Amino acid sequence: MYNGQPQQLGGEAFASFREFRDRVLQGIRQGARVVSFWGYPAHDGMVILVMTLAYDKEGYLETLSIEIKDSYESLTPRIAQVHWFEREIFEKWGVRPEGHPWLKPIRFENTHSNSQSLPSVTDFMRIEGEEIHEVAVGPVHAGIIEPGHFRFQCHGEQVFHLEISLGYQYRGVEKALIGGPDKRTIHYMETLCGDTTIGHSLAYAQAIEGLADCNVPLRASVLRSIMLELERLANHTGDLGALAQDVGYLPTSSYCGRLRGDFLNLTALICGNRFGRNMVRPGGVLFDIDDAMRKEVIKRLTNIFSDVRNAVSLMLDSAMVVDRFDETGALTKETALELGLVGVAARACGIDRDARFDFPSGAFKFSQIPVSTYSSGDVFARAFVRWLELQRSVEFILGQLDALPDGPITVNVASLKNEHIIISLTEGWRGEICHSVITDKDGKISHYKIVDPSFHNWIGLAVALRGEEISDFPLCNKSFNLSYCGHDL
């Protein structure tokens, strides 16, 4: 199947777990990666496990499923990128992956895996030895930040191991989506992860449109792509400013903080909301850009980016800043591939992975953005990839505005296909977003699974801290800038 292409439910099912496992392993050997792995309840206490494999170079998705009762052979020892998914499946449904190396809750959302449902009330990995000490950070942090708990095992200043415990933001969104779509559904999508409103609402809209055989007007597709890239511009600019602040480089920090707001205001000019809410809807968009606004957006965007270029150049031309970024929190390409990282974190390790290019949808089918990569895998690489993407996103938006097609901005969406599954991918500013939707016999949503890029990448942050000094954590953490609420759906 392809991105946004519906498939009849049940056609991907395997009769035995051995066949399922062997097919997954075969796909991994052929270069596939795990996009999502989740479960939902079936008859007689059975749980259906669903895995989607992505073949990036072929632009192809393969969805596999198997019915399980109580347990199955863990895939984690052979496929490290599923370890977080298997913990989630055990937590939600009580299906035990036998042989999983560290089976514990990730959100503390029920009592299948732990009699205590309070976040972080659990065992943590401990390293014993002379002069080994433990440092606990959070969940309450200084400044305005979402809650998360970080447990460091250290020898002096050196970090041996970092364990990340989340779950403080769990809201049960996926369960609330069952029975839709209805009037509330789009608002859940727009607030799944507040700084990725366009990315998630676009993934949802594409899934609904695919299930309804709906062809979105070209003008609407272009407007969606512009909004998606404006979201990327605002967040990448804010991240570069925050990285500058973490090393005490105040000129770039101050400028980028303001310039992020200018990008958000540009989004508000188009749709009336700084985060892009009320813009994307199944069938198209709610707001158009007339010629006067088009010229105003081009003018503002050009001026804002000129200031961004100056601010970022100041930072990257500073030997002090580059020396602090260089070789800090480095991951190898091999480690990033093994962990299944996505987005900026993956591209900073030299991995050519971008859903806009590999699994294009909408306007990206006709006008693609080159994939921005760097090879060192450290804080510098994650900053530099953001800078490359800023430049290419601005070029893309200006090009789309210069050739904005005529036509309507929305069409009606018919009833959804019954008993189908669809996988919808978009490239949010953090990385790949995956929405998996299954419909029931009446064409309503029976199961909905969301994988935010943060779900893939939190383990990357933990591994990046190994061997680093504990004082490097704030800088490394900001260079990944992952979402707590995007993880805790």
- For residue 143, what pLDDT is reported? 72
Q: How far apart are CA 281 and CA 179, in angstroms?
A: 18
Residue 10 banded pLDDT, cuts 50, 70, 90: confident
Q: How far apart are CA 126 and CA 133, in angstroms?
A: 9
Give the tokens for residue 174. Answer: 């996926």
Mean pLDDT of the chain: 95
Residue 13 banded pLDDT, cuts 50, 70, 90: confident
pLDDT digits 0-9 by tens, 382-400: 999 999 999 999 999 999 9
- For residue 11, what pLDDT is reported? 74
Q: How far apart are CA 380 and CA 374, in angstroms?
A: 9
What DSSP string describes 327-338?
TSS---HHHHHH
Q: Is the pLDDT of residue 114 over 70?
A: no
- For residue 110, what pLDDT is reported? 65
Residue 71 burial class via C-beta count within 10 angstroms: exposed 0-12, middle 13-18, buried 19 and up: middle
Residue 141 banded pLDDT, cuts 50, 70, 90: confident
Contact 157, 473 (CB under 8 A): no
Q: Is the pLDDT of residue 300 over 90?
A: yes
Q: How far apart are CA 366 and CA 115, in angstroms?
A: 52
Residues 6+ apart with CB under 8 A from 309: none
Residue 112 banded pLDDT, cuts 50, 70, 90: low
Q: How far apart are CA 280 and CA 221, in angstroms?
A: 10
Pairing of strands 432-439, 445-451: antiparallel
Residue 116 banded pLDDT, cuts 50, 70, 90: low
pLDDT digits 0-9 by tens, 160-169: 999 999 999 8
Residue 43 banded pLDDT, cuts 50, 70, 90: confident
Q: pLDDT above 90 covers what percent of the chain?
A: 89
Between residues 111 and 176, the one the model is more confident about: 176
CATH 1.10.645.10, domain 176-457, yes or no: yes
Contact 360, 370 (CB under 8 A): no
CA angle 326, 331, 336 (to 5 degrees): 145
Q: 114's torsion region: left (phi>0), alpha (psi -120 to 50) or beta?
A: beta
- For residue 121, what pLDDT is reported? 81
Contact 51, 103 (CB under 8 A): no
Long-range contacts of 25-31, Cβ-Cβ distance < 8 Å, separation of 24 or more: 25/78, 25/79, 27/53, 27/55, 27/62, 28/53, 28/79, 30/55, 31/55, 31/56, 31/57
Count CA atoms within 13 Å of residue 460 on its CB side: 37
* Domain ranges within the chain, ordered by starting residue: 1-109, 176-457
- For residue 138, what pLDDT is reported? 86
Q: Is the pLDDT of residue 89 over 60?
A: yes
pLDDT digits 0-9 by tens, 350-384: 999 999 999 999 999 999 999 999 999 999 999 99
Among 26-40, 43-57, 74-88, 106-120, which stretch is predicted with the lowest mean pLDDT?
A: 106-120
Among 14-18, 47-51, 435-439, which stretch is predicted with the lowest mean pLDDT?
A: 14-18
- For residue 118, what pLDDT is reported? 76
- For residue 235, what pLDDT is reported? 98
CB environment 353-371: b (16+ within 10 A), e (fewer): bbbbbbbbbbbbeeeebeb
Which of 377, 283, 299 minimizes the C-alpha distance to 337? Answer: 377
